[in-house]
């Protein structure tokens, strides 16, 4: 007998059936995210073939060069999710302000925060890049259009989080708080198929640390001590792709410690709490790992602003604990 393949749609419908009170909103949001992921995956795969590479010359809200595929991905996600009636507000790393749902569409009870194409400086070199997403229930159902408070919620309140990795294959990995599941896109049928059910970060994980060590002259003494202690443990390897989703995905599947610490020129590190750090931290914790800023559990941090940055130490619990010991004192 042919083994039944489990598509993403089947999986999310079956997961939803386990919750009799579920409204179907989630199924719809994840379905729309998956559609956007397929469209972005197609564009990423074609990037080398068509004249789409290179910057637009514009800068995003962080003063970085925006590349065409970033804009495309940003728009595709918005277009896939603006009309379903499940969201009341969105926010994107590429947009300075919250993104309202167009007036003609009904509003729902959820907000979506996303980094449409992380690691975009790697596009020209054909290095893996990714999309990261985070879903929250809005705080006050009376806010028809959603408000900034609905976006500025701590990671513990995420109802779903995940990422799409555009690598040697395209994978969608997500959690709704009941484990982490990974799906691989079969391009020939245009479906995400369950390939990695119930992902657990391996314990003990591989001895890999991942950090941009070229910045070590800007690190604090504590950060230097941490990396020295990791090296002192022996048999550690260094892996750093410089593309967060790819570095995180490896950490999730092989184990290890990924860090983007604070340094003297970036006192809060580089990565954004709401679009990058918080969703990946939920995924990591759900897979049995941990994530802190060196002191605080990432998911407990109450955001103060939309584009807030935060240092991150994420991976196997024992390595994150070592980071807390060195950094937090």
- According to CB under 6 A, which residues from 251 to 270 bind ligand AHM? 260, 270
Residue 64 C-beta: closest distance to ligand AHM, Å = 5
User: Looking only at residues 235 through 254 of this chain, which bind ligand AHM when binding is defined by CB under 6 A?
Assistant: 242-244, 247
**Shortest distance, CB of residue 289 to ligand AHM, whole angstroms?**
17
286 interacts with, out of Mg ion, ligand AHM, none, CB within 5 to 8 A per kind: none
Among 70, 82, 118, 247, binds Mg ion (CB under 5 A): 118
220 close to 106: Cβ distance less than 8 angstroms: no
Instruction: Give the integer Cα–Cα distance in Å for 240 and 212.
Output: 7
CB of 115 to Mg ion, least distance (A): 4
The pairing of strands 170-175 and 158-166 is antiparallel
243 binds, among Mg ion, ligand AHM, none (CB under 5 to 8 A by kind): ligand AHM
Q: Which is nearer to ligand AHM, 101 or 129 (CB)?
A: 129
Single residue of 25, 82, 118, 191 touching ligand AHM by CB under 6 A: 118
Q: Which does 191 bind (CB under 5 to 8 A by kind): Mg ion, ligand AHM, none?
A: none
Q: Which of residues 85-104 bind ligand AHM (CB under 6 A)?
A: none
- Does the footprint of ligand AHM cover residue 281 (CB under 6 A)? no
Contact status: 120 vs ligand AHM (CB under 6 A): yes
Contact string (CB under 6 A) for ligand AHM, positions 184-213, x = contact: ----------------------------x-
Q: Least distance to ligand AHM from the beta carbon of 120, Å?
A: 5
List 183's β-bridge partners, or say none: 172, 194
Distance, CA of 199 to CA of 173 (rounded, Å): 9
Full 3-state SS string of the chain: CCCCCCEHHHHHHHHHHCCCCCCCHHHHHHHHHHHHHHHHHHHHHHCCCCCCCCEEEEECCCCCEEEHHHHHHHHHHHHHHCCCCCEEEEEECCCCCCEECCCCCCCCCEEEEEEEEECHHHHHHCCCEEEEEEEEECCCCCCCCCCHHHHCCCHHHEEEEEEEEECCCEEEEEECCCCEEEEEEECCCCEEEEEECCCCCCCCCCCEEECCHHHHHHCCHHHHHHHHHHHHCCCCEECCCCCHHHHHHHHHHHCCEEEECCECCEECECCEHHHHHHHHHHHHHHCCCEEECCCCEHHHCCCCCCCCECCEEEECHHHHHHHHHHHCC
Count of residues that bind Mg ion according to CB under 5 A? 2
Residue selected from 115, 247, 285, 293 as contacting Mg ion according to rule CB under 5 A:
115
Nearest approach, Cβ of residue 143 and ligand AHM (Å): 29
Q: What is the closest distance, in whole angstroms, from the C-beta atom of residue 319 to ligand AHM in the complex?
A: 17
Q: Which does 64 bind (CB under 5 to 8 A by kind): Mg ion, ligand AHM, none?
A: ligand AHM
Rounded least distance, CB 5 to Mg ion, Å = 32
User: Which of 98, 116, 119, 205: binder of ligand AHM (CB under 6 A)?
Assistant: 119
Binding site for ligand AHM (CB under 6 A): 64, 118-120, 212, 242-244, 247, 260, 270
Binding site for Mg ion (CB under 5 A): 115, 118
């Amino acid at each position: 007998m042919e083994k039944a393949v489990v598509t993403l749609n089947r999986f999310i419908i079956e997961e939803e059936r386990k919750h009799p009170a579920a409204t179907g909103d989630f199924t719809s949001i994840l379905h729309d995210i998956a559609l956007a992921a397929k469209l972005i995956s197609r564009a990423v795969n074609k990037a080398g073939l068509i004249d789409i590479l290179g910057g637009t010359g514009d800068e995003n809200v962080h003063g970085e060069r925006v590349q065409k595929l970033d804009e495309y991905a940003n728009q595709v996600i918005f277009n896939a999710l603006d009309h379903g009636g499940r969201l009341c507000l969105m926010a994107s790393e590429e947009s300075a302000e919250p993104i309202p749902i167009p007036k003609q569409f009904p509003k729902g009870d959820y907000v979506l925060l996303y980094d449409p194409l992380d690691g975009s400086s790697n596009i020209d070199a054909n290095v893996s890049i990714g999309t990261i997403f985070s879903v929250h229930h809005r705080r006050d159902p009376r806010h028809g259009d959603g408000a900034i408070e609905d976006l500025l919620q701590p990671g513990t309140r995420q109802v779903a989080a995940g990422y799409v990795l555009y690598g040697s294959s395209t994978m969608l990995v997500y959690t709704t708080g009941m484990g982490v599941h990974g799906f691989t896109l079969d391009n020939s049928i245009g479906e995400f198929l369950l390939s990695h059910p119930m992902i657990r970060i391996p314990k003990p994980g591989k001895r890999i640390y991942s950090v941009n060590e070229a910045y070590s002259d800007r690190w604090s003494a504590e950060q230097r001590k941490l990396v020295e202690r990791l090296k002192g443990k022996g048999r550690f390897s260094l892996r750093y792709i410089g593309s967060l989703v790819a570095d995180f995905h490896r950490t999730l599947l092989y184990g290890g410690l990924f860090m983007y610490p604070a340094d003297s020129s970036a006192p809060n590190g580089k990565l954004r709490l709401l679009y990058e750090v918080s969703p990946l931290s939920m995924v990591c914790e759900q897979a049995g790992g941990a994530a802190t800023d060196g002191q605080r559990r990432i998911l407990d941090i109450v955001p103060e602003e939309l584009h807030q940055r935060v240092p991150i130490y994420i991976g196997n619990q024992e390595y994150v604990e070592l980071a807390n010991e060195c950094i937090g004192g």
